[in-house]
Structure 1
């Protein structure tokens, strides 16, 4: 059985394009370390179409050996990030995605065939897919927190945001849908609304090409309306998050899957990764900085 995901810290559930913009406004605060899972995919005896697994990791868990899990396109995309922190978030997300999918499929992470293709420009930056495999994937990051979701239930969208100073009242007027019964009255309420809608847009594959004001969320949370059409069969979940963060998940499926969330330590320190890490120079991050708590 997994130990608590975020230790003994309680979190008020309030809810990645926003994460990128917000991260440029304020410094990332120090957060308490996560506790690690006993091991990957301990729910795998369930029918896969009834399960959605979510894994969370901290940037301090990144190791040099994780970079070797990236393919050529991912390495090229990683090199395009100007800031070291952005390169680390991308590397950790790509590695964790392969490790989590490999745990579901029962194959080594290096053999997981992740593909990213934008449906509009055909560039290697679309949402991740697994050609020939019945799994749906989503990746998100904010601050020093990186998350992935893996499920066979249906298309999935995962979003995490970090609380920072911003004009949430002005943004709230832009993202609320006409007729939404739950007005945004606080910063926490704004993040709750944003993460729910962002997770829906990631699950549908539309992303921020669709204005959030065209996504109507009701109590539960539930998806009431999408782009003025009858809503798709969407199941929304507010996820536990550490203090200062908010997270939400959407799965498009006929029936709601069982959602499980855990720290990714058991995946990130699998035997192959650990063996490669021990023979390299120290336990250093991809950027060359000490790995902190190790």
Structure 2
């Protein structure tokens, strides 16, 4: 299996809720706007179902936090399918999901507007990454910021650490260079071989990336919903 990614716009289709289990519906209900969560998790269920032939309503997910060990949060895993790895990400407008058998995986999607804040560099970038953005402004700057953030968060989702690890401790390649993890400076155990790829979403207002913990070659297949 390649790294199979599916993308879609956030939907208010009420039929999507029928695909989710009670835990997912409860989590969705805790959000001021449940539509992105519902869209993303329905998307993940449909993607895994299409790759495995299993009814999307019968899939069972569990969560494990790599930092504290709880099952109340953390990256999702498919119950009873140890060889398949999944990740999901969503924002106000878009959702993305991924499945692969190559290794632990993480995916992230970012709206350019989410990168439009003062102090981005201080909370996100290592000193070696600051020059990446020096000559950029306007939408070019926001696109570069969003791409760097997506690469870093995809890596941290793949490792299972999430934002427990400071993103500035995860050093990635320049926005105009092939995606790569250059250095892991965090005190947490480094992830080992990590393949990072940017994801073409077919739209200008978002950026996305995927990371897989593997030394094997990675082929990414993107499906647009």
Does TM-score exceed 0.5, indicating one fold? yes
Q: Do the aligned partners of residues 167 and 161 (structure 1) sit closer, same or farther apart at CA in structure 2, a change above 3 Å counting? A: closer
Aligned alpha-carbon RMSD (Å): 2.1
Deviates more, 1:176-185 or 1:102-111: 176-185
Q: Which runs of 5+ in 1 are unaligned?
A: 1-47, 265-294
Rounded to whole Å, the distance in 2 between the matches of 1:183 and 1:160 is 20
3-state SS, counterpart of residue 109 of structure 2: strand
What secondary structure does 2:119 align onto? helix
Q: Partner of 2:76 in structure 1?
A: 128
Residue 189 of structure 2 is aligned to residue 240 of structure 1:
no
Q: Whole-Å Cα distance in 1 between the matches of residues 73 and 57 of structure 2?
A: 19
Q: 1:215 aligns with which of 170, 177, 190?
A: 170
Question: How much has 1:135 moved relative to structure 2?
Answer: 0.8
Q: 1:76 aligns with which of 26, 33, 36?
A: 26
Which consecutive unaligned segments of at least 5 residues does structure 2 have?
135-140
1:181 positional shift: 7.7
Of 93, 105, 118, which aligns to 2:52?
105
- Shift in Å at residue 121 of structure 1? 6.7
TM-score, with length taken from structure 1: 0.66
How far off its partner does 1:156 sit?
Answer: 0.9
Aligned counterparts of 1:165 and 1:174: Cα–Cα separation in 2: 13
Q: CA deviation at 1:230?
A: 6.1
1:253 aligns with 2:201: no
The residue aligned with 2:107 is: 158
Kindly indicate which of the two structures has a greater share of residues assigned to strand. Answer: 2
Residue correspondences, number: 211
CA apart distance, 1:234: 0.9
Contact in 2 for aligned 1:168/1:190 (Cα 8 Å): no
Give the TM-score normalised by the residue count of structure 2: 0.85
Deviations along 1:5-33, one digit per CA (max 9) or x if unpaired, are xxxxxxxxxxxxxxxxxxxxxxxxxxxxx
Deviation per CA, 1:13-63: give whole Å up to 9, x if none: xxxxxxxxxxxxxxxxxxxxxxxxxxxxxxxxxxx2xx0000011123x42
Please give the secondary structure, in 2, of the residue aligned with 1:179: helix
Task: Tell whether the 8 Å contact from 1:157 to 1:202 is kept in structure 2 after alignment.
Answer: yes
Larger CA deviation: 208-217 vs 226-235: 226-235
Pairing 1:23-62 to 2, within 5 Å after superposition? 48=1, 51-60=2-11, 62=12
Q: Which of structures 1 and 2 has the bigger CA Rg? A: 1
- Give the CA deviation at 1:165: 7.1
Aligned CA distance change for structure 1 residues 140 and 166 (closer, same or farther; 3 Å) = closer
Q: Which residue of 2 aligns with 1:141?
A: 90
Shift of 1:131: 2.1
**8 Å Cα contact 1:239-1:247 kept in structure 2:** yes
Cα deviation, residue 239, structure 1:
1.2
